Chains A and B, each alone.
Chain A
């Protein structure tokens, strides 16, 4: 049987099948690749196992505290530190909102510049570098730098979150623009308007709905991050949370965490609603 695409191995499998011997085709058909991948994974597991040393005594000691923490979710304490919690949350929320708006506004030019199909080469590389830097380094690292430059307080936080937002939004925006349909782009360019008019009429309608959706998603992420960057002094609820954890005041920590969870849930619900509405 020499039908198209049948090899000696296929014939052998068919003959075995007739005898009642069958096993599924392996995912990776090349044997050496399969074997060496498996060996590689095994080697990594062994190496990792050997190099990770855990102080089990310390872990065992901490179990009581772990139980205490879980139990504190049953008795969260919103009251004792209500003032700090309120101010912290307010700051987090304002930082989130401002940073998202500034970040999205700045992400639009960066995103346009990072789209290969509409940007000239030097602009393209500058924008791509900004995106890569902002995406590689976690918000907290960037916050450290901005705190060093601008001093403690929410301003450093806003700049941090805005910078992170630029990387996130601009990358996705640029990909969207690169994927945008070619015909409308060219049809409108053919009408001979200015570059700005062209962006407004041809690019914007194609990417706008997703841009709104992504902004809302980023709003959500920024809020979660705003709870963290306070640790290094960039404002928001993070500082209060950090203090309560370090004092083993788990009831207050639980209260703050519950508030964060509630706000995330709420914003998710809200953004689902807005997304349906804008479509």
Chain B
């Protein structure tokens, strides 16, 4: 804590003056940027639409209530598809992310150039949303569940890969040395000293991603990649908001359930 002499009295200050000025300058810049951004957005906005936004909202909600329960039965199969997309996609993603993480971790990678490749794959997968992957895959493998599964898998690779390789880099090195010193082979060293150390992280990351993927899988149908999103899209296009509301309720229930399952599993492994 810097203390400054002022009029013969010591004055306490929270920060060094230079740092304080830098912080003020930062706030100024941020504020100006915000105003500029806002101006740009309002330029591209048709404000006339907003005059009746409250009416629009009210009528939208009015048409959603009560939800149209009659379609609930026909939504069960799409819901099952959604869960399968999430689950199989997660499994596929983990399968690919697992070796990738070992290539990407500084302490287990066989070669620096392989590490760079693995990191590039991880960051590409992570930067691109499942929905974008789904759009692409629908044009490649055709619409349907398969595109959805691949999209979920492609997005999960980066997520699981990143968290897992960070976990690998954080293991204690001495057990690895100890197992190496027994004359164990490379795979044995991984299985006996690295794997036990990352097991809890691995399980936690996997169910966490599965939980996220359930949510993401609900939307993939919007671009034709299967699941309950297809029905949602159809209902929206028909302006059948009561049916949309039913889909929302089902999604909500599924997500709450998956969150509960994932919390339980994570609790069990830790």
Chain A contacts to B: CB under 8 angstroms:
44, 48, 51-55, 58-59, 61-63, 65-66, 69, 90-91, 94-95, 97-98, 101, 136-138, 140-141, 144-145, 148-155, 158, 224-225, 227-228, 231-232, 235, 241-242, 245-246, 248, 253, 257, 260-261, 264-265
Contact = CB atoms under 8 A, between A and B. Distances in A.
B60 interface: yes
B135 A245 contact: yes
Given A141-B248, A242-B135, 4 more contacts: A69-B136, A136-B256, A149-B57, A224-B128
Contacts of B193: none
Contacts of A257: 124, 127-128, 132
Contacts of A228: 129, 131-132
B16 to A, nearest CB: 13
A91 B132 CA distance: 18
B251 A149 contact: no
A138 B49 CA distance: 24
Contact of B140 (A65, A90, A136, A232): A65
Contacts of B132: 227-228, 241, 257
B44 interface: yes
Interface of B: 30, 33-34, 36-38, 40-42, 44-46, 49-50, 53, 56-57, 60, 80-81, 84, 87-88, 123-124, 126-129, 131-132, 135-136, 139-142, 144-146, 149, 215-216, 218-219, 222-223, 232, 236, 248, 251-252, 255-256
A94 B252 CA distance: 31
A266 B33 CA distance: 18
B117 to A, nearest CB: 13
Central interface residue in B45, B57, B88, by most chain A CB within 10 Å: B45
A98 B38 contact: yes
A55 B44 contact: no
